[in-house]
Structure 1
Amino acid sequence: MPASISMDENMGFQYGVSRPGLNPPIQFGNGFYGAGSGLIRGGLGAYGKKICGSSSQYVQSNISKYFSDPQYYFQVNSHYVGNKLKIILFPFLHRGHWTRMTEPVGGRLSYNPPITDIHAPDLYIPFMTFATYLVLAGISLGLSGKFSPEAINWQFVKGMVGWLLQVMLLKASLSSLGGGEAPLLDMIAYTGYTFTGLCVAVLGRITLSYAYYLIIIWTSMCSGIFLAKTIKITLYAEINSYDANMHHYLLLAFPRNSNPKPRDSQNRRETISLIQKCKQFHQVPPIHAKIIRYFQVQDPFVVFELLRLCSNLNSIDHATKIFQQIQTPNVYLYTALINGFVSTGFCLDAIRVYCRMDNESVSPDNYAVTSVLKACGFGLALEEGRGVHAQVLKLGLSSNRSVRMKLLNLYGKCGEFEHARRVFDEMPDRDVVASTVMITSFADYGLIEEAIGVFNRARSKDTVC
């Protein structure tokens, strides 16, 4: 499930699966009285099973990825190894981003394996360089006349203890920043890259003994640069899951209430153009940083485009975090987030957002109503759909064709053919699309005669060829 919307204020009644941090249910106006029980009776069983199944698969996949499936960290080839060693030993020569590549999986983002992403951590290089370090240390001891099995064992113990201490130090450093648990195998991989520099240093000691200390200084500096850039971009983002309060911790230096410079229309156009050109999620954080730098985090036009982008990239979690930072979201921003939840299959969350919008006294328009009715149709939320229908009549939105079509689809999917027939008969333009919805709804419930009747009436009016 995606990260839940902040519910510190009244969010309205709750639907479906209980989620931590949400307030108890309340009535959503007179038209929505008793909506929660209707959804539980209607579609919660099947919908909840779907959610629990996808959540279980997601948890299992992540546990397998980080712990019980080490194959993820060994998916490398010679091209990756060569380029990775260049970045480790010469990080200041790297041109480009340091962000790991992602791909959408079930509404969330999953990191690509090392073979397809040069910035992904691997365990092949750390293990191989550690073994190489032991071999080179043995050669060095042999040249100095100090070689013995006990000496090699001691080098092995010192290397393992040093590796463990690095992991513990890294974990403590990240925890001190206020983060959660970082992936353990990621930390093992990143700290294990230091053996690459040690191998170069020991090799330099064997071949060029006088340059040993210079090589140590060089490799230590390069390892520090590599770890600083990688940890900052990769692990810190992983720990906080793009929590806006921590992800932008450097922006605390900017005054929040000290008369920010007025929005520049040119900056707005440039930012929106960047958002519209964005095709992959790893391009989003730099754009988000630019938005904050230009004080555009409350600009509804910019935020609307950013929400749509995250939704299109199946990153509804990040869209939710962005939305939480808006002080007074308008109906268009609410609608963008609702559409994001619907497009990723989280219809109950879409209904929750609509409830919050109503509780915040933000009047819905036909686009918001259309989106939430679509969520009700997908989630078989009949009682909630009836409540929205009552609100549609109150706001005078019933004449909108898109609203009528979503109502028709909702009642048809839920088997409420009396209401579906009423909506259908009140439509001034009963075209082929509306007739098809009615025919499909009847057919899905085995009402073949009724479906044929709608078809014949539509054909008699030249609606269908």
Structure 2
Amino acid sequence: MQRPAYGHSSPPLHHPVPQHVSTVPQLRSPPPPIPQQQTQHGGYGSPYPGQPGPGAQQNQNMFGPYGNFMNDPTAQLASQFGQTAFKHGQEYLEQNVNRYVNVSALKHYFNVTNSYVLQKLALVIFPWRHKPWSRKQTIGPNGQEGWYLPPRDDINSPDMYIPVMSLVTYILLSSAIAGFRGQFQPELLGLTASWALVVVIIEILILKLGCYFLSISNESQLLDLVAYSGYKFVGIIATIVIAELFSGGKGTGGWFGWSVFIYMFLANAFFIMRSLRYVLLPENTGDGRGSMQTGNTRAKKQQRTWLLFAYAYIVQFLFMWMLSRP
């Protein structure tokens, strides 16, 4: 059976023939990372010589440009120079300060303990039943006699710690009370400190003049007088605090405030009267012989007693009243 002809013959059908490639690329895994070695400074080094690794860069960023400052010879030289300059400056300061203030003697007044401070505060506020009032003496480091023991070893020894801390507390307390009343100003701190220091200086001048006219001499007289003049601030602080808490905001102006003030004044006056006997009433008031010289000695002792009484009761009352006013 023959196929019908349509005028022309159709082209033969061709099937695609697969082509074979001679070379096929092989798939390979990426190369393993190169292990990083830890450097000497705690970071990790770079696989390339002469270049810092990422760990070193991290350490440099962490410590900044001052990472090796302490290992720098220039820094060590500067540190030694600073220590030498500080040492020479301290020696220069001590030499110039010693011209006006005996630093070694001043350290004696700050040689205190916690138990001494508590006992001394109790003695200043409640001095009525305390005995004895005489200071303890011993042999000095150079073999001299009449060397007084430091405050930590003698409750009757004057110190500078309580007066200084009481003065600072008084200044801060006065400013705080003014702030509670809405009257605080920054200048109040300086004014209060100046007024308190003026009071202390006036007291010292009064006592020094009295000692000069009555021929009273004592090696540690000035520092002792400064210390005893500062104990009044303990009673003033107690008066201000108690009066403010229990007088209904009237301060020391009410009857309760006056009652507290009178007690603190009498306690401070009694404490000063008994403590300053060894300064203003020394035992060696005279070495003369005969009735005339004995009479002069008794007269001087009586004058010194009146000076001590006037300072303990009149001067202390005046200044304590002025400092404790609101």
| TM-score when normalising by structure 1 | 0.37
C-alpha displacement of 1:206: 2.1
C-alpha displacement of 1:152: 2.0
> What is the match of residue 112 of structure 2?
76
> What is the match of residue 102 of structure 1?
137
C-alpha displacement of 1:68: 2.0
Amino acid at match of 2:206: L
Larger relative contact order (Cα-Cα within 8 Å, sequence gap ≥ 6): 1
C-alpha displacement of 1:74: 0.7
2: distance between equivalents of 1:110 and 1:101?
8
Matches within 5 A, 1:354-373: none
1:159 aligns with 2:196: yes
> What is the match of residue 153 of structure 2?
116
Is contact 2:109–2:150 with CA below 8 Å preserved after alignment? yes
Q: Which residue, 212, 215, 237 being the options, matches 1:199?
A: 237
| 1:364-417 CA-partner distances (Å, limit 9, x unpaired) | xxxxxxxxxxxxxxxxxxxxxxxxxxxxxxxxxxxxxxxxxxxxxxxxxxxxxx
2: distance between equivalents of 1:175 and 1:92?
31
> What is the match of residue 284 of structure 2?
242
> What is the match of residue 28 of structure 2?
none
> What is the match of residue 224 of structure 2?
186
Amino acid at match of 2:224: D
2: distance between equivalents of 1:93 and 1:141?
37
Matches within 5 A, 1:55-94: 67-69=102-104, 70-94=106-130
Matches within 5 A, 1:224-303: 224-232=269-277, 234-236=278-280, 242-245=284-287, 252=298
1: distance between equivalents of 2:296 and 2:274?
15
C-alpha displacement of 1:175: 2.9
Q: 5+ residue gaps in structure 1?
A: 1-62, 254-465
> What is the match of residue 3 of structure 2?
none
SS at match of 2:146: strand
Q: Which residue, 149, 163, 176 being the options, matches 1:139?
A: 176
Is contact 1:194–1:223 with CA below 8 Å preserved after alignment? yes
Change (3 A) 1:124 1:250: farther
C-alpha displacement of 1:249: 8.5
Is contact 2:286–2:297 with CA below 8 Å preserved after alignment? no
> What is the match of residue 221 of structure 1?
266
| 1:310-344 CA-partner distances (Å, limit 9, x unpaired) | xxxxxxxxxxxxxxxxxxxxxxxxxxxxxxxxxxx
C-alpha displacement of 1:133: 0.7
C-alpha displacement of 1:77: 0.8
Is contact 1:102–1:111 with CA below 8 Å preserved after alignment? yes
Question: What is the aligned residue count?
Answer: 185
1: distance between equivalents of 2:265 and 2:144?
40
C-alpha displacement of 1:67: 2.2
2: distance between equivalents of 1:162 and 1:115?
28
2: distance between equivalents of 1:108 and 1:241?
16
| TM-score when normalising by structure 2 | 0.52
Is contact 1:126–1:195 with CA below 8 Å preserved after alignment? yes
1: distance between equivalents of 2:146 and 2:280?
16
C-alpha displacement of 1:252: 3.4
C-alpha displacement of 1:135: 1.6
Change (3 A) 1:91 1:177: farther
Larger Rg: 2
Amino acid at match of 1:252: R
C-alpha displacement of 1:242: 3.0
Indicate the RMSD between aligned Cα atoms, in angstroms.
Answer: 2.6
Is contact 1:67–1:185 with CA below 8 Å preserved after alignment? no
C-alpha displacement of 1:142: 1.2
1: distance between equivalents of 2:242 and 2:297?
43
Change (3 A) 1:75 1:249: farther
Higher helix fraction (1 or 2): 1
1: distance between equivalents of 2:295 and 2:136?
23
C-alpha displacement of 1:107: 4.4
Change (3 A) 1:224 1:173: farther
C-alpha displacement of 1:218: 1.3
Amino acid at match of 2:189: I
SS at match of 2:138: strand
| 1:104-162 CA-partner distances (Å, limit 9, x unpaired) | 23242200000000011100000011111112111211122111111222111111111
> What is the match of residue 456 of structure 1?
none
Change (3 A) 1:202 1:167: same
C-alpha displacement of 1:88: 0.9
Change (3 A) 1:67 1:89: same
> What is the match of residue 8 of structure 1?
none
C-alpha displacement of 1:180: 2.3
C-alpha displacement of 1:250: 11
2: distance between equivalents of 1:252 and 1:176?
16
Is contact 2:136–2:154 with CA below 8 Å preserved after alignment? yes
Change (3 A) 1:249 1:140: farther
Is contact 1:140–1:202 with CA below 8 Å preserved after alignment? no
Is contact 1:197–1:220 with CA below 8 Å preserved after alignment? yes
| 1:205-237 CA-partner distances (Å, limit 9, x unpaired) | 3212342222221111111111111111x2136
2: distance between equivalents of 1:150 and 1:109?
46
1:125 aligns with 2:162: yes
| 1:170-207 CA-partner distances (Å, limit 9, x unpaired) | 22233333212552111110101111111111112321
C-alpha displacement of 1:251: 8.1
Identity of aligned residues (%): 26
> What is the match of residue 41 of structure 2?
none
